[in-house]
Amino acid sequence: MQTQGLTQLASTLLLSLSLATATAADDQFKDIEIQTTGVGNGIYMLTGKGGNIGVSTGTDGVFLIDDQFAPLSEKIKAAIAALSDQPVRFLLNTHWHPDHTGGNEDMGKTGTVIVAHNNVRKRLAVDNFIEMFGLEAPATDITGLPVITFDSSLTFHLNGGEIIVSHVSNAHTDGDSIVWFRNANIIHTGDIYFAGMYPFIDTNSGGSLEGTINALEQVLAMSDDKTVIIPGHGPVSNKSSLLAYTDMLKTISSTLRKMIAGQSTLEQIQAAEPTRDFDGNYGDGFIKNTAFVDMLYQDMVQD
């Protein structure tokens, strides 16, 4: 049943996710540099290895979105210090994955208030095993757990504007948040959006394709032509690219659904190359086309 694509996906993710905890893998971060991209209104995207970080700076202090991996914490703190002399007052986790929360203990220890959806704390508090990848993700120490959790949404009044954090249900995981800097017209989507590449949807953590599409539509409804979109992975984006991405997910999933309804096997679906028209724009990410189809197929036949 398992295709080569799925195996490749599994090993790629196993490698990238397990980096968070393996001390021997610290070397992998030695040469990683944190790059800073300004997106306006004192807000920045930081990239290194792992999920894109969002930073809001201003007179009230630093508001941080996600923190990549623990071995990068000092470099991330240095990049933030170059933008603001204020402490990191709040850290918002968009979801529990180790490439977005690996620095939590380092941030929590220094007094940063960590905030996330209820399910993020639940998942971080225990050892996790993601069956699909054979991945073990050990529990986060109490110093790195969110101290404020919420169910549907909450608003920060900081740095001269509103930061509206909204939970989107069963999307990339069961604990995703999207972060809307309303006055600045900037949105950090977390991993419901992998800009320019096929996404990973963590169905083992309560994620689903349908929820992802719903979440993307929610972001589209909050956006206009001037909105700056910081994706979970990939470069800074905008509404038209997000719309094309949403259409890609809808088109490929509807093709798959029809073929599954017509009793096609996974092998027949793969042979029909349902992603062919999109591979040029999305096929070069860390999830290749066959692995992506495999993942969607498993999600659909589970329903």
Q: Which stretch binds Zn ion (CB under 5 A): 41-49, 63-71, 190-198, 270-278?
A: 190-198
Q: How far is the CB of 62 from Zn ion (least distance, A)?
A: 23
**Residue 19 to residues 12, 30, 97, 191, 247: CA-CA distances in angstroms?**
11, 12, 12, 18, 33
- Under rule CB under 5 A, residue 191 binds Zn ion: yes
Q: How far is the CB of 35 from Zn ion (least distance, A)?
A: 20
Q: How far is the CB of 98 from Zn ion (least distance, A)?
A: 9
Can you say whether residue 159 is alpha, beta or left, with left for phi > 0 and alpha for psi between -120 and 50 degrees?
left
Q: How far is the CB of 172 from Zn ion (least distance, A)?
A: 6
Tokens encoding 198: 């096929």
Q: Which stretch binds Zn ion (CB under 5 A): 89-97, 107-115, 140-148, 239-247?
A: 89-97
**At what angle are helices 289-302 and 239-261 packed, to 10 degrees?**
60
Nearer to Zn ion, 97 or 121 (CB): 97
Total interface residues for Zn ion by CB under 5 A = 2
Site map (CB under 5 A) of Zn ion, residues 115-154, x = contact: ----------------------------------------
Beta strands (DSSP E) in 95-207 are 113-117, 128-130, 135-137, 148-150, 153-158, 161-168, 176-181, 186-188
Q: How far is the CB of 94 from Zn ion (least distance, A)?
A: 8
Q: How far is the CB of 219 from Zn ion (least distance, A)?
A: 16
Q: What is the dihedral of CA 54, 35, 285, 261, to 10 degrees?
A: 0
Burial of 248 (0-12, 13-18, 19+ CB in 10 A): middle
Cβ–Cβ under 8 Å, residues 114 and 145:
yes
**At what angle are helices 209-222 and 239-261 packed, to 10 degrees?**
150
Q: How far is the CB of 205 from Zn ion (least distance, A)?
A: 9
Nearer to Zn ion, 84 or 140 (CB): 140
DSSP state of 66: -
Q: Which stretch binds Zn ion (CB under 5 A): 19-27, 110-118, 132-140, 188-196?
A: 188-196
Nearer to Zn ion, 97 or 117 (CB): 97
Q: Which stretch binds Zn ion (CB under 5 A): 23-31, 92-100, 116-124, 214-222?
A: 92-100
Q: How far is the CB of 190 from Zn ion (least distance, A)?
A: 7
Cβ–Cβ under 8 Å, residues 31 and 75:
no
Q: Which stretch binds Zn ion (CB under 5 A): 90-98, 211-219, 243-251, 284-292?
A: 90-98
What amino acid is encoded at 28 in this protein? Q
Nearer to Zn ion, 68 or 166 (CB): 68
Q: Which residues bind Zn ion (CB under 5 A)?
A: 97, 191
